[in-house]
Structure formats: structure tokens, C-alpha cells
Amino acid sequence: MSTLVNITSKEQFSSLLTSSAIVVADFYADWCGPCKAIAPAYEQLARQLTRPNRITFTKINVDQQQDIAKAYGVTAMPTFIVFERGRPASTVRGADPRKLNEVVQKLASEAGKAESTGEGASGGSSVSGGIGWLGASVPKGYSDITDQVEPKGLELLNRDSAFAQPRTLFDTSKPSALSGGKAKEGSTAADWVESDTDEQLMLYVAFQSRLKIHSLHVTSLPPADGEEDERPMQPKTIHVYANRSQVLGFDEAEDIPPVQTVTINPEDWDKQTGTAKVELRFVKFQSVNSLVLFFADGDGNSEKLRVDRIRIMGEAGEKREMGKLEKIGDEVGE
């Protein structure tokens, strides 16, 4: 079975650049003789080095995907571009299998070292995805599309201002609670959010494109010490709303049926990463430009709720128009 991924759209390619740490792109044409000559060597390299969500080999027909070729300045075939964390790292022009092998092997070696000594070495099942830390594995057939969050379209109600800003929830860095550093609660170093007057939080998230959302990864790492009724809790019940133009008030949310309500049980939390996978009804989240997440309660008796990170899994679609974003005060991202 071939390990090569044939690119059929800009959206597919963008998604791969997000989900895979290294992407190798072979820009070719059916009429190109040198392209055909180097194809067997490229396929062999793909069989040897492909790693799920780490190293992905693709083929891009320049006649069918002219926009992609133009975006990366491809004017001659074959051209091989190696992307590292979504950005071009090396380019090989022409049918030079030795040079191509050298470039890809070097990056693969660096990726292997990072995997064995980096995030994964800090403990548990945490993994490093295409654009940063992940607390759980990416579901098969989907990608981490958290980078589609529009930072200026975030709003969090009942947030304790002594803790982090809402955008920290979607930060690509590993939570400090997993790195041995214990930021004092209420200090400027805190990289998580907590509720204020009670255990509820209301989060509004706008996106830069229309998404198909498969699941959410919610990370919550409350401290193990302290009185149980004073420690912040992990979320338990989350009401999910889609395509709202603005955040919902708490009273308002009680009168509006959510698209889905999910319950996170104690056994759902990964003991090493403090992350729970929240699977959504995929058919209900096929064309999503915003989400409202109503964290209704937590697992315990405290009046505080804590959330460290949220990752979004699914598929990214077409970019939203500027006008639509401007209605809610946002700007188009990258």
C-alpha cells in the first residue's frame, strides 16, 4: 500500500502542514520525464521514513494544483520542498535523488531526536503535534486544527482575572503544570484559566475558516494538594453551541438548547496529561464558524473550575470572508 498522499486541494495540503511535523512535497507533472525517473526513489524514501503525524510524503500535480505551486514559487519540475512545522525548510530542484535523500534524512533524524528527548520525555502519553504540544493523539483521518482559532474572536465569561487570558487555552506550548514548574495560583506566571464567582465558564470561540469538528481535547491540571472543596475542579458537563454570532449569557444559555451536551467522567481524564477527549456528533458540526462552550459544572464540590488547554480536531475548510469576521470584531488570520 502506498504511503504517498496525493494532494487534491489547498485545504487538504494546509491541513497536512498543520497535523504533520514534517511534510515532503513532490511538485510534478505527468508530462515531465525527470519526474517519472525520480518517482521510484521518492516512493522508496516515503516507505522508509513515513511516520503518522510526524513525517508525511505528498505528491502535487502542478497542472491540477496551480495555486499551491504558485504559492511556493514552483516554476520547474520536479521540485521538492520539505516543510518543517508548516514552513518551508529546504528545497531540492531537479531529479537529484542523492540530494533529496540527504535533506529528508537530516530532518527525519532531527525529528526523531526531538521525539525521544523533547515533549515525550517529560512523561506520559503527551505527544508533540505539527504545531505544538498535544495532550492526546490526533484521531485517525483528522488533524489538529486549533490554529484556525481567531484570537480576537475569543471571549470568556466569569473568568478570574488573576489567571491567564482566554487565548492561553489555545496556546501551542506545554502546560507549565506538566513541566515541573508550579506557577503560584494567582501569579502572572499562571498559564491556565479559572472561574471566578462560581464553577461555571462560558467560552466563545470564532474561527478563521469553516470547520468540520470531530472532537475537542480538554486539558485540566488542578493541583493535588490543598483542601478538596477549595481546589479548582476539572470540567464535568459541557454544553456545546455552534455558529452563534456572540457569546451567550448564562441565563440565556439555559433557554437555548445546545447542539450537544457532553459529560466527562473521571476515568476519561488521562492521568499523565490531564486531558480528556470530547467526541462530538460529527454530522452536527460540519460547517462551523464559531463555538460556544458552556462549562456548566465540575467534578467535585469546589466553586472553582480550571482549564489549561483546549485543542480542536477535525478538518479546516475555506477561509471566512473579512466582512463576516468584522461583524464580531475579528480580523482574518494568516
Q: What is the mean pLDDT of residues 97-108?
A: 80
What is the pTM for the complete model shown?
A: 0.61
Please identify which of the residues 16, 24, 35, 38 carries the catalytic annotation.
Answer: 35
pLDDT in tens, 305-334: 999 999 999 887 766 654 444 333 333 333
Please identify which of the residues 32, 55, 177, 262 carries the catalytic annotation.
Answer: 32
DSSP classification of residue 174? P
What does 203-253 look like in DSSP terms, one character per residue?
A: EEEEEEEEEEEEEEEEE----SSS-TTTSPBPEEEEEEEES-SSPPPHHHH
> How many residues belong to the chain?
334
Domains and CATH numbers, the chain: 5-117 (3.40.30.10), 131-326 (2.60.120.470)
Cis peptide before 34 (omega within 30 of 0): no
Q: Are 292 and 241 in contact (CB under 8 A)?
A: yes
35 is catalytic: yes
User: 210: Cβ–Cβ under 8 A, 6 or more apart, which residues?
Assistant: 287, 288, 289, 317, 318, 320
- How far apart are the C-alpha atoms of 173 and 240, rounded to whole Å? 25
> What is the predicted pLDDT for the residue at 309?
97
32 is catalytic: yes
pLDDT in tens, 112-161: 554 444 443 333 333 333 346 889 888 877 888 888 899 888 999 999 99
Residue 23 backbone phi and psi in degrees, to 5: -125, 125
Q: What is the mean pLDDT of residues 30-55?
A: 89
- How far apart are the C-alpha atoms of 190 and 187, rounded to whole Å? 6
Q: Is the pLDDT of residue 224 over 70?
A: yes
